[in-house]
């Protein structure tokens, strides 16, 4: 499969009982037919695998989806590791609408997001 655009929105939590479409990520990544991240294709198109973080009340951030040794995926916005956001078991997720993903954000808090669009 080709590079897809995936939109994640903040899932229900104590601060947002209904979730929030104003808080989340939109990123580009190659997916297999079942919606899993395709590492082999990512290695060929990684320059196209961008991430856009949007968070109401904060400036938007632009970065890249990167892969490290040992199957670790993360969003990175600048050189160095300080701003990196590791994604829990990203390599095991199926990016299909309705699924959930946990991301440890800059502030060290792990939040859950729902896949709302895959195109």
Other CB atoms closer than 10 Å to residue 53's CB: what's the count? Answer: 22
Give pLDDT tens digits for 13-46.
999 999 999 999 999 999 999 999 999 999 999 9
Which residue bears the tokens 């695998």? 49
pLDDT of residue 72: 84
pLDDT of residue 2: 77
> pTM of the full predicted structure?
0.90
Number of domains in the chain: 1
* Domain of 46, in residue numbers: 3-118
Report, as an integer, the average pLDDT of 101-105: 89
Give pLDDT tens digits for 48-83.
999 999 999 999 999 999 998 766 888 999 877 677
């Amino acid at each position: 499969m080709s590079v897809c655009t995936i939109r994640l929105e903040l899932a229900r939590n104590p601060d947002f009982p209904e979730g929030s479409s104003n808080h989340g990520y939109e990123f580009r990544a190659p997916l297999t037919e079942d919606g899993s991240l395709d590492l082999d294709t990512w290695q060929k198109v990684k320059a196209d695998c961008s991430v856009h973080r949007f968070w109401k009340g904060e400036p938007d951030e632009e970065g890249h989806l990167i892969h490290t040794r040992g199957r670790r995926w993360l969003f990175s916005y600048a050189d160095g590791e300080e701003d990196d956001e590791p994604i829990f078991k990203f390599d095991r997720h199926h990016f299909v609408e309705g699924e959930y993903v946990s991301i440890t954000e800059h502030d060290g808090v792990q939040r859950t997001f729902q896949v709302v669009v895959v195109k």
